Structure 1
Amino acid sequence: MAKKHHIELRMWGLRNRFHSLTAILVIVLFIATVYLAEENRWLEENPTPPDNSGDLLSRCNLFSGRWVFDNLSYPLYSEQKCSFMSDQLACEKFGRKDLKYQNWRWQPHQCDLPRFNATALLERLRGKRLVYVGDSLNRGQWVSMVCLVDSVIPPGLKSMHNNGSLSSFKATEYNASIEFYWAPLLVESNSDDPVNHRLPDRIVRVQAIEKHARHWTDADILVFNSYLWWKRDKMKVLWGSFERSDGVYKEVEMLRSYEMALKTWSDWLEIHVNRSKTQLFFVSMSPTHFWGDEWGMEEGNCYNETEPIEKGHWGRDSDPKMMRRVEAAIDELRMRGVKVQMLNITQLSEYRKEGHPSIYRKQWEPLTQEQLSNPTSYSDCIHWCLPGVPDAWNEILYAYILSS
């Protein structure tokens, strides 16, 4: 009888332990379910975790790679559906039939670029200003970025405003703006009018930047460029004011005047930029494709080109001396405690001889019969079709923004 009672007690104890374990297991499963649901919700709201991007930048050169044809994932947006596409860059709209230029993806050798996620970027830009400053190539990169985020914003919650040199795209729900400021030489010049700027006699005030810079002062992300408008042997430099007649003018060798302008730009950044808040970028020289002999043609340019250049290539219009001047300015700023990241897009863009508008763009002036008979004579081999090469520049910029 005692033995039977002892067995019953043991069985009761086992049942109690089993119920306890079951209760614990139920609690653990409940906690795990809640945790996973919360984690899934967070991942939906934050599709590209910033930590991964930080690791990516430390272990990978994003500017060394190759172009991969990808007609499944690219283009990242539709030319026709972008509300704010520029007629200067809308190659399909103006008659281009071969659209493969839209399907090339930049693939770094050592890693993959994070997939561009417009919602994730807009979250990063919530309450902030991203401002592109420079010439028409930087404006093209700005249009690209606007088109990259445009599709995820409902029509009533976005707007575009133009105020002289400043164009602002606003995403109302995020209180975010993506802007472009026209300053082709960064410092003040007689080419500062955003419409009427093609003057035969170019003049710069290499020590004057405040007229422009007051429009960027409170920006959270600044993306600069300035090369194309400096491409001449000498620049006419003005010490004085355009409004007064007592100014001193002097022809200065281009590299020296460029150096002086970069010094003025650097000094402004050192004094005015909020180092704990503002991310700074300088986009390297965007290449041209005016000389067919560079890729094996006897004559011609980017007109009728349909494939990228496959092997290493460096065009004669891409000036390493100018790039070294920018690198020196950035290195000096770093020593003064101001970090500027160079977006070195030159080599990766050199391959893309087929990515320019060529003749497929709005012509701002009527073409002559002589031009019409020779399309290479009026081909635009400077700017880039969209969707296209500037999207890759922005994908790289996006990786840096996430890493912050």
Structure 2
Amino acid sequence: MAACLGFLGYHYLLAVSLSLVIVLVHGDIHSFNTGHEVVKENEVSSCDFFQGSWVLDDSFNPLYDSSSCPFIGGGFDCQKNGRPDKDYLKYRWQPNGCDLPRFNGNDFLEKYKGKKILFVGDSLSNNMWRSLICMLHATVPNSNYTFGAKGLLSTFSLSDFGVSVNWLKNGFLIDMAYEKIGKVLKLDSISTGNQWLGVDVLIFNSYHWWTHSGRWQTWDYFQFGNKTVKEMDHMEAYKIAMTTWANWVDKNIDPSKTLVFFQGVAAVHLDAKEWNDPNHKDCTEQTEPVKGSTYPGPGVPGEAILKSVLSNMTKPAYLLDITLLTQLRKDGHPSVYAGRGPKFTDCSHWCLAGVPDTWNQLLYAALLQK
């Protein structure tokens, strides 16, 4: 897929999208410095930021030090939890044909002064949210901030800039009702969307909870229209639910006031056979990415479903297409360094600092203005 640059303004929106892989910038398209080299207009406009490989770069420094960020949370702080290797912090995402602009926190804060940014989704949204607020805190470490949580809403704000970056936990996006028969996923209903209104940037995410089954499943029934069923194909349910969400966005969001993104499907690494490693069971003891630009394992079913739904929206939500770059990072998970003892292995979430910082660099590239 090809990615192209469009114009994006707070009071207007003009976007050019090819196969839903898009990079949006404020203002005119010229050249800009990525921290490695100046990227020319024609190079960037023809570049797909989401196709590439991971490069070990000794000159590359993480955007923050985990020991100096107070917001990481125990499960993501791999260094604090005893991870002995550090090379995973030195890998830089290298798109095929151009460089990804390095995140500039001062520029970000200046552009989004007085603005509200809201992540809505599951714990992968939490991963990305905590990464971004660590990046901003590292930019202005002496600035006053507020940080807290009430119910499902976690908040972070920098009063000197009037910027708030929040996370609303909502793994399904559609409704789940507690009824006499049990917990019912209402695939065609969204009653809490008013919580998503009145912000300047929305970044949604939903996928991983839909793959759960057995003791990990958090619902008892599916409901769609007049039908209530105990079981159905989970990916079919996901498609119906994401279509419900897309219809809500089309009906309720004014793209001249609110920019809508979808955090793409992040890979998990539960089976080392996917990357042809006979010596390990999963992501445990992985210290380097898969080499090259192709993942040898199977695709992620939700990726195609999500792209199909987004392609049919009348007010497009722009996909941060992180599937490939996460598939290649089998080394980026907390694994046994999630802070819950050596018997607990996490191959779904990501260490901070780490891979989610690149997701936020992609978001920054999408919001970049000259």
Q: How high is the TM-score relative to the length of structure 2?
A: 0.81
Residue 258 (structure 1) shift: 1.2
RMSD of the TM alignment (CA)?
A: 2.6
The question of whether the paired residues in 1 share the 8 Å contact of 2:117 and 2:202 is answered with yes
Instruction: Return the alpha-carbon distance in structure 2 between the equivalents of residues 124 and 175 of structure 1.
Output: 11
Alignment of 1:147-186 (within 5 A): 147-155=134-142, 157-186=144-173
Distance 1:296 1:239 in 2: 41
Which one of the candidate residues 242, 257, 279 is aligned to 1:262? 242
- 1:353 matched residue in structure 2: 330
In the TM superposition, 1:243-262 aligns within 5 A as: 248-262=228-242
Where is the helix percentage greater, Structure 1 or Structure 2? 1
Which of residues 82, 96, 120 is equivalent to 1:109?
96
Note the C-alpha offset of 1:165: 1.0
1:85 lines up with 2:85 in the alignment: no
Aligned-pair distance for 1:154?
4.5
> Secondary structure, in 3 states, of the residue corresponding to 1:151?
helix
Is 1:305 equivalent to 2:286 in the alignment?
yes
Q: 1:160 to 1:232 in 2, by over 3 A?
A: closer
* In 1: Cα distance, 2:268 partner to 2:238 partner: 20
Q: CA deviation at 1:93?
A: 0.1
SS in 1 for 2:273: helix
Post-superposition offset of 1:217: 0.7
State the Cα deviation string for residues 24-55 of structure 1 (Å, max 9, x = none): xxxxxxxxxxxxxxxxxxxxxxxx98744794
Which blocks of at least 5 consecutive residues in structure 1 are unaligned? Answer: 1-47, 192-200, 241-245
Partner-residue secondary structure (3-state), 2:357: helix
Is the aligned partner of 1:74 residue 2:51?
A: no
CA offset at residue 248 of structure 1? 4.4
Which segment is superposed worse, 84-93 or 295-304? 295-304
> Which residue of structure 2 lines up, in the alignment, with residue 238 of structure 1?
223
The Cα shift of 1:86 comes to 1.4
8 Å contact 2:262–2:317 — kept in the other structure?
yes
Q: Which residue of 2 aligns with 1:143?
A: 130
Q: 1:403 Cα shift?
A: 4.7
Q: Percent of aligned positions with the same letter in both sequences?
A: 33
2:199 to 207, 219, 223: 219
1:153 and 1:171 in contact (8 A); partners too = no
For residue 83 of structure 1, report the CA deviation from its aligned partner. 2.1
Aligned length in residues = 326
Paired residue secondary structure (1:262)? helix
Matched, 1:64 2:35: no
Shift of the alpha carbon at 1:155? Answer: 4.1
**Counterpart in 2 of 1:343?**
320
What is the CA distance between 1:271 and its match in structure 2? 1.4
The one-letter code matched in structure 2 to 1:383 is H
- Partner residue, 1:7: none
Residues 1:208 and 1:398: Cα distance change in structure 2 (over 3 Å): same
**Distance (whole Å) between structure 2 residues aligned to residue 154 and residue 351 of structure 1:** 32
Larger relative contact order, structure 1 or 2 (CA cutoff 8 Å, min sep 6):
2
Identify the structure with the greater strand proportion.
2
Give the deviation of 1:134 after TM superposition.
0.8
Candidates 268, 289, 292, aligned match of 1:288: 268
Note the alpha carbon deviations across 1:78-118, whole angstroms, 9 max, x for none. Answer: 00011211111000000011011111111111111112110
Alignment counterpart, residue 273 of structure 1, candidates 226, 236, 253: 253
Q: In structure 1, how many angstroms separate the alpha carbons of the residues matched to 2:58 and 2:322?
A: 22
Q: CA deviation at 1:73?
A: 2.6
Indicate if the aligned counterparts of 2:83 and 2:337 stay in contact, CA closer than 8 A: yes
Partner of 1:22: none
2:362 aligned partner: 396
Q: Given that residues 74 and 105 in structure 1 are in contact (C-alpha distance below 8 angstroms), is that contact kept between their aligned partners in structure 2? A: no
Preserved contact between residue 100 and residue 365 of structure 2 (Cα < 8 Å): yes
Distance in structure 2 (CA, Å) of the matches to 1:74 and 1:210: 43
Instruction: Write the distance in 2 (CA, Å) between the matches of 1:156 and 1:232.
Output: 41
Counterpart AA for 1:258? Y
1:168-198 CA-to-partner distances (Å, cap 9, x unmatched) read 110111111111111111112269xxxxxxx
1:188 corresponds, among 175, 183, 186, to: 175
How big is the shift at 1:203? 3.7
The answer to whether the Cα contact below 8 Å between 2:155 and 2:164 also exists between their aligned partners in 1 is yes
Q: Which residue in the other structure is 2:188 paired with?
A: 207
Aligned partner (choices 342, 348, 355) of residue 382 of structure 1: 348
Q: Tell me which structure has the larger Cα radius of gyration.
A: 1
**What is the identity, as a one-letter code, of the residue corresponding to 1:345?**
I
